[in-house]
């Protein structure tokens, strides 16, 4: 699925991003956001630009959802923050 069905994968990422954003401050939204981040991490260097764009869009929706409670945003992303910053800088430069 990660190579040939990239359109479905991109739509899946978009849909999961919307679900995380809609979950907002629900009790289990942190678990959903964490799982989405793991999927984003796997797809962030996909060869298709559509999948990479969907990964970025889902990440932004996750930020919006977790920003409703800023302490959760820092708590959930503390360990990945340096890697996220490096990835976003790379995207800015090369994509």
pLDDT of residue 87 exceeding 90, the answer is no
pLDDT, residue 3, reads: 59
Q: CB-based contacts of 85: which residues, under 8 Å, 6+ apart? A: none
pLDDT band at 32 (very low <50, low <70, confident <90, very high): confident
Q: Is pLDDT larger for residue 74 or for residue 18?
A: 18
pLDDT, residue 34, reads: 85
Whole-Å CA distances, 35 to 12, 38, 40, 89: 13, 5, 9, 23
Q: Which two tokens stand for residue 51?
A: 């999948």
Q: Which two tokens stand for residue 19?
A: 């679900």
């Amino acid at each position: 699925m990660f190579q040939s069905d990239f359109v479905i994968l991109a739509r899946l990422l978009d849909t999961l991003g919307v679900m995380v954003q809609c979950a907002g401050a629900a009790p289990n939204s942190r678990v959903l956001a964490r799982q989405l981040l793991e999927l984003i991490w796997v797809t962030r260097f996909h060869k298709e630009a559509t999948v990479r764009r969907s990964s970025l869009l889902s990440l932004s929706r996750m930020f919006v959802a977790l920003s409703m409670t800023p302490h959760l945003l820092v708590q959930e992303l503390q360990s990945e923050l340096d890697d996220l910053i490096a990835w976003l800088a790379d995207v800015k430069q090369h994509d």
